Structure 1
Amino acid sequence: MASPRDDDNLGGLLDDLVAASKIPAKRRQTAVKHTVEKTIPVLYDRGALPGELARLVDLLTLRNHLDQASLASLVRNLYPVRKVDDEAILRIIGALGHGQLKPSLPLQGLLLRWLVMVYHLLENTAILSKTYGVLFNLLDTAAIRPQLCHLLALITRRRHVRPFRIQAILGLSRQTGSDPALIGLLRVFKNYYPEIIVGEATRGRAAAFKHPDLQWRERLDEIRQQHVERRDDGGARNGFAVNHALARQMKGAKISLIPAAHTQHAQEDSITLEEVDNPDFFVENLEKLELPTQLVAILADPLLQKLLLLRPDAQGYSRISNWLTACLGDVANGDADPSFLLDLVDVIHDYAVSTKTLPPLLMTFFRDFLETWNGRDKRETVLDALTFAPLMDFEEFHQQLLQPLEQALLDNTATSQLALLNFYTLLLRRWVVSMEAAGDLDSLPADSIPNLVNNVNKLALTLTQTSPSSLTHLAILDFYESCATIFSKPPILQRIEITIPPALVVYTMHFGTSLVVLSRLCGILASYKRAWEAVMAPPAARPLTRYEREQINTFNGFLMDLCNCLWRGHAFSTTEPNAQGCRVPPTLVPALDEYLRGVDSELALASAFGLSHSPVLCLQAIAYVRELEDAEIGGLRVRHAGPVTQSSLTQLANRGGLQISWQEYRAGVLKYLESKGFNGVPELMYNTMKNLMKGR
């Protein structure tokens, strides 16, 4: 079992101890003392997980060649971080008593003392009751009698008190001169049968049976608390128990942010939330559970969240809303530090992540909070919490939340714009998840999704100008990739409009400097094309909205222009149907062509962005040719110098070089791109060019 921290390596230390325990001290190559010295601090620092505890118990209960001092140190530092299972208990009970294979009596005493100290952590306390007879019969062993009496005092119940046991204790007490431990156990027996055990028998000094080591218990509690906090940070909390750790976690804060769930003025017949510790009890008493005094604890307590989810309470939600409003008012009036709200946002964020929702009362809180927020403090936390906003009418959502958010966040920098774009991307993904999970799509405001896309289109246009970098382009493509995912889902596609990216965004990315950007852009456009076809193809065809009819010609222009550039060698042409010449002014094209021919007389503008000459594709194209040339078994007289053209391939074959046709070369480059993980360009070509569709 892996350790919580990489530097523990407790498993390796235990391996060394087990190996050393099988070899007599005189025959060992290294002293075991150093291994023990490394193991003790690890156990003291973070305790033993169940698997590690089992190995240590085996080491302590089986007779071996480790010295008694080392074994005693291990027992004294045996801190279990979780419940102690039955197997460990039975192994210790089985190791008690006399025998050559048993541990030494001092070590048995330490093991019994350890059982007393971890009694509250036993997974099943009934297991000790089942071994009561075995433990009682060991009382004649003086070396372990004090620890045995203490353990028996803990587990003794009325059914264990029998006349023969009373006689046995009385007899031992007389033989030992009124042993305090025995008298203490006898007094426990007397609590059940005072009429049988007379006062004379229990007179004298008796053991008080106090905790053997309070400092050890304090350290155990610290280790277990640290383990719970690490587990809470890395995963889910126990959802069927009150979050008692909350108050301890906030102990150092100047202001106690969220009160713990606590029920005051509970009656004798009340069932409070604090009593719940398992799902069965929670379900059985769901209708009887009393709400805690401070309902705002719902923000940090998973059990209270479940209770109000399954048993909504309008008055309770009103109390929570009033509490949050009061917090905002205190900060506005200067009665509380503004940092208090930021700490409160942390708690609300955890609540949103836990419940995957942002209820109306928290939406109202954020609306007021954004009016005072500077847009910088805890930006990631605020934005991530707001992505859990429910799918709602866009106009209302924009007015209540998005507009104040943009006003607070945007500061005329690309960083703030990118943060807003990432927020919209995650919000869109979560809206789609909520639509997929909904039973009735018609009841949802599906129009909010195309409205959100149109809103982000403006932001994307701005970003392509303020931050024209590949990282910005990839962030923009993240959003449109999420859009394409939506349009690939037929049930949703039937209810929302297809909304395409702005033309300037598409063409700017197409003429960028990143192959990854070009590949992802082409893949997104191919997904959009399939969505258009799904909408218009029977039997699932639906009438296009007026807005979609306006967009479809623009989208067809994207496809024609990219195919003209990448495949057909007609870059910036406007003669074909739907071609828009990449929105480059027609008067500028001759000037660009003239400039390019002045740089390279053999290169025309129309083919400058094809597979062979494109700045982002030319390396992959010539790499494909080199791969073919290297694979030629008979060898070649000449190699292609690149870039490849239709005429250069003919000349190359005539001179004893690679023999491949122009069509084979281009189809091979597409397959080569696929093999390298750049699927977008091939996907768009296969979905757009008719001759490639047939060949595929």
Structure 2
Amino acid sequence: MLSGGDDLDGLLGDLEAASKLPAKRRLTGVKSTIERTTAALYDRGALPDELTRFVDLLTVRNHLDQASLAAIVRGLYPSARVGDGIVLRFVGALGHGQLKPSLPLQALFLRWLVMVYHVLENSAVLSQAYGVLFNLLDTAAIRPPLCHVLALVTRRKHVRPFRIQAILNLARQTGGDPNLTGLLRVFKNYYPEIIVDDVTRGRAAAYKHPDPQWRARLDEIQQQRSDARDDTGVRNGFAVNHTLGRRLKGLKAVFPTVHTLHAQESSVTLEEIDSAEAFVKNLDKIELPTQLVAVLADPLLQKLLLLRPDAEGSFRITSWLMACLGDVASGDADSDLLLDMLEVIHDYAVGTKTLPPLLLTFFGQFLSVWDGTDKRDMVLETLSFAPMMDFKEFHKVIVLLESSMLDNTASAQLSLLRFYTLLLQRWTIAMEAAERIDTLPLASVPELIEHVNKLTLTLTQTSPAVGTCLEILNFYDACAAIYAKPTLLPHVEILIPPPMLVYTLYFGPSLAVVSRLCGIVAVYKRAWEAAMLTTSPAARPLTRRERGQVAVFNGFLMDLCNCLWRGRAFSTTDTNAQGCRVPESVKPALESHLRAADPELSLATVFGLSHSPLLCLQSISHVRELEDADAAVGSRHAGPVTQTSLAALAYRGGLKLSWPEYRVGVLGYLESGGFSGISELMYSTMKNLMKTRK
């Protein structure tokens, strides 16, 4: 099996070849091929010819195992309408017989027919096979999906007395099967005078779609192929999007497409443009379309208004959007209208990588009527394109957003945090791309960070999971990325994470969290040095708020170094040290607890490289590697490693390793394992390590 990537044709050929050989005679397994096949099907679906080959593979007895065949059926997304031949092949594979597929597989065939029913080329084909399907109702293994198919297909002509009697007899034999009861209720809709209430009073199947997410993905695949077929030659963005109405579904009746009325003989309309050359040649002559709000969905109109800004046009777009909001607020239009409009605005923002102020004004009104859950991810992604602006103005939008979203759940808070992270990353890109960075409202960056600092502290209490901690660090990674850039640091005020957040993350259960935290603190330290060192290109006077933060930053920086490296955890005797803000009255109790567990343990060293619950395994593993590599070692270290134990080990004929060499080696071992943050902090903070690194 040599096919790679998502070459569905090649993968299908490999499966066809494997299906002809028993598993013991195959040179390689089919599991990886099945995984790549289902991934390719999820990505783009199966073309009609490929779908036919898949159905042949599924409906003819072969040597592929049932799990592989079932995985193919579950991932069999058709990219086009399903023809009659495909449906009849599946129907013909149902029933009993040595050459028939297994009954669980047949149940999946029927489930698949239910899920693709809305994309059949001819739904009447199942109606023509109604008798065949009905006669299989006595097969219990396939009855639930079979009843669902029959419920979809049943029309008045199919309801006959002998079929009613057959279902009644079967229902009595099975003790009132809910699937049969549900089918009887469908029959009753056509002949209520024949089927009495007592028969259908029992529990009945609801016949809902088996997998709404599967259908949503199927619709996306079908729409993508439809767009590619209908928009041939239009994807370059230099022609009007005439298929907009088809894409907007429920919104097409109210959302206008590009159309220019009252055009004169000498004027040029957007509808006439079909290439970049024609667009550039006629840029000054092009008439604006009648409904400018179509700019939200048409790439060509977007380009025109970008190159030819028009104040009156912006006013017209804003008026149209506000009118829609007014209709919803007054009850004259359904709230689904706003969600449909949001999809179009989202596509516009993603396509142009901008969210103009007029659309931000729309959001200010939209958020006041939004329920905070519908299409939440889309709302947040769209808002993340908001331009840098005065934070007081943007804060009004944030207040509306948070009041709509926050519902005392951690999931809503996490969604907000991801939004702020993405927003800060986009602002960073805007600052780097600006010709004159001093023209931007740069004070909004520290104000945003200060606002999010409160959210991160809240999240450590409402959702103290490792995943949440990593999301928090994603935000501070985005902050550190600003301070790490020499072009941005002179212009942007440094704002540190809250000290309690740093301590909470450091004393958590994840080495990945601690490593990333230390790496971020190291970036902040270098930023402070660059801003305060007079010979640095990024040197500048510190603001009043920054001067107040320097001592706080030095405090938790010293605390981390005391815990990790200096063997003075929770000490307050060193300059700037704050003892991790642990009250003095608590320390004797912690010390007593440690002594009770192990008389050799000390509170001052228990969070160092050798004894820390997060680092002890890494430390001793480093020593084990050195011992394994040295054939002359006569005695092995039992761990944990201390300066005294290393001296005793060398005396007994064990590994000759000095204390400084051991600690530097552990830092290198952590780096090789992907935990480089701790060594970054140590090498940028401890003076003796700075010299060795240089």
Give the structure 1 partner of residue 501 of structure 2. 505
**Structure 1 unmatched runs, 5+:** 17-40, 47-222
Alignment deviations for residues 147-179 of structure 1 (CA, whole Å, 9 cap, x no partner): xxxxxxxxxxxxxxxxxxxxxxxxxxxxxxxxx
**RMSD over equivalenced CA pairs, Å:** 2.6
Does the residue aligned with 2:610 lie in a helix, a strand or coil?
A: coil
Work out the CA distance in 2 between the residues paired with 1:246 and 1:345. 15
CA distance in 1, matches of 2:4, 2:519: 43
SS in 2 for 1:493: coil
Contact 2:510 2:614 in 1 (8 A): yes
Match of 1:275 among 266, 272, 277: 272
Indicate the SS of the match to 1:335: coil
Structure 2 residue 374 is matched with structure 1 residue 372: no
Q: Confirm whether residue 659 of structure 1 aligns to residue 656 of structure 2.
A: yes
Match of 1:560 among 553, 558, 566: 558
Q: Distance in 1 between matches of 2:601 and 2:327?
A: 71
Q: Is residue 2:408 matched to residue 1:412?
A: yes
Q: 1:442 is matched with which residue: 438, 444, 452?
A: 438
State the TM-score, normalized to the length of structure 2: 0.68
Contact 1:239 1:303 in 2 (8 A): yes
Which of the residues 391, 394, 397 maps onto 2:394? 397
2:491 maps to 1:495: yes
CA distances 1:197-237 after superposition (whole Å, capped 9, x unpaired): xxxxxxxxxxxxxxxxxxxxxxxxxx99854635999x994
> How far off its partner does 1:648 sit?
1.2
Q: 1:478 aligns with which of 457, 464, 474?
A: 474
Distance in 1 between residues matched to 2:599 and 2:391, nearest whole Å: 55
Structure 2 residue identity aligned to 1:523: G
The change in CA–CA distance for 1:262 and 1:488 in structure 2 (over 3 A counts) is: same
- Tell me what 1:644 maps to: 641
Deviation per CA, 1:466-496, whole angstroms, max 9, x where unpaired?
1111111111101111111100112221112
Deviation at 1:587, TM superposition (A): 1.6
Query: Cα deviation per residue 1:612-641 (whole Å; 9 max; x = unaligned)?
Result: 11111111111101101110123x322111
Instruction: Label 1:672 to 1:342 Cα distance change in 2 as closer, same or farther (>3 A).
Output: same
Residue deviations 1:553-598 (CA, integer Å, cap 9, x gap): 1111111101100001100000000000001011211111111111
1:586 corresponds to: 584
Equivalents in 1 of 2:482, 2:5: separation in Å? Answer: 40
Alpha-carbon distance between aligned partners in 1 of 2:50 and 2:237, rounded to the nearest angstrom: 27
Alignment of 1:107-126 (within 5 A): none
How much does 1:257 deviate? 4.9
The 5-angstrom pairing of residues 228-247 of structure 1 reads 229=227, 237-247=235-245
- Counterpart amino acid of residue 349 in structure 2: A
2:672 is aligned with 1:695:
no
Give deviations 1:5-26, integer Å, cap 9, x for gaps. 754449979xx9xxxxxxxxxx
For 1:72-93, what per-residue CA distance to the aligned partner results, in whole angstroms no more than 9, with x for missing partners?
Answer: xxxxxxxxxxxxxxxxxxxxxx
- In the alignment of these two chains, the number of paired residues is 490
Match of 2:247 in 1: 249
Give the aligned partner of residue 92 of structure 1: none
- Residue identity matched to 1:238: N
Quick check: which has more Rg, 1 or 2?
A: 1
What is the one-letter code of the residue matched to 2:467?
L
Report 1:538-549 matches (<5 A): 538-539=534-535, 540=537, 541-549=539-547
Aligned ranges 1:191-270 → 2 under 5 Å: 227=225, 229=227, 237-250=235-248, 252-253=249-250, 256-270=253-267
* Aligned residue number for residue 303 of structure 1: 300
Structure 1 residue matching 2:604: 3-state secondary structure: helix
Alignment-mate amino acid for residue 685 of structure 1:
M
> Which residue in 1 is equivalent to 2:327?
330
Q: Against the structure 1 CA distance between its residues 528 and 278, is the aligned structure 2 distance closer, same or farther, given a 3 Å change threshold?
A: same
| Structure 1 match to 2:571 | 573
Confirm whether residue 527 of structure 1 aligns to residue 523 of structure 2: yes
1:321 matched residue in structure 2: 318
Q: 1:247 Cα shift? A: 1.7
What TM-score, normalized by structure 1, do the two folds share? 0.67
In structure 2, distance between residues paired with 1:600 and 1:11: 62
Could you tell which deviates more after superposition, 308-317 or 602-611? 308-317
**Structure 2 residue 667 is matched with structure 1 residue 670:** yes
8 Å Cα contact 1:257/1:343 also seen in 2: no
Partner residue in 2 for 1:456? 452
Q: Answer whether contact 2:251 2:340 (CA < 8 A) is retained.
A: no
Rounded Cα–Cα distance in structure 2 between residues aligned with 1:420 and 1:367: 17
CA contact (8 A) 1:629 1:658 kept: yes
| Contact kept? 2:518, 2:680, Cα under 8 Å | yes
SS of the equivalent of 2:487 reads helix
Runs of 4+ in 1 over 4 A off after TM superposition: 2-6, 8-13, 41-46, 223-226, 230-233
Return the alpha-carbon distance in structure 1 between the equivalents of residues 514 and 505 of structure 2.
Answer: 7
Offset at residue 264 of structure 1 (A): 2.1
1:680 aligned residue:
677
Residue 188 of structure 2: aligned partner: none
Q: Is the 8 A contact 2:245 2:252 kept in 1?
A: no
Q: How far has the Cα of 1:683 moved from its partner?
A: 0.4
Q: Deviations along 1:633-680, whole A, 9 cap, x unmatched?
A: 23x322111111111111111222111111110010001111111110
Distance 1:231 1:415, change over 3 A: farther
Cα distance in 2 for residues equivalent to 1:257 and 1:381: 21
User: In structure 2, what residue type is equivalent to 1:577?
Assistant: T
Residue 612, structure 1, aligned to residue 607, structure 2: no
For the 8 Å contact 2:250–2:340, the answer to whether it is kept is no
Distance 2:407 2:230 in 1: 36
Q: CA 1:3/1:626 → structure 2, altered by over 3 Å: closer, same or farther?
A: closer
In structure 1, which of residues 591, 598, 602 is the aligned counterpart of residue 600 of structure 2? Answer: 602
1:536 matched residue in structure 2: 532
Structure 1's 641 and 338: CA in aligned 2 closer, same or farther, altered over 3 A?
Answer: same
Q: Indicate the SS of the match to 1:242.
A: coil
> Which of 617, 625, 628 pairs up with 1:627?
625
Structure 1 residues 247, 254: closer, same or farther in 2, change over 3 A?
A: closer
- Is 1:258–1:300's contact at 8 Å kept on the other side of the alignment? no
Q: Percent of aligned positions with the same letter in both sequences?
A: 63
- CA separation of 1:4/1:685 partners in 2, compared to 1, >3 Å: closer, same or farther? closer
Deviation, structure 1 residue 256 = 2.9
2:677 & 2:224 partners in 1: Cα distance? 48
Alignment check: 8 A CA contact 1:10 1:42 kept: no
Distance 1:231 1:526 in 2: 53
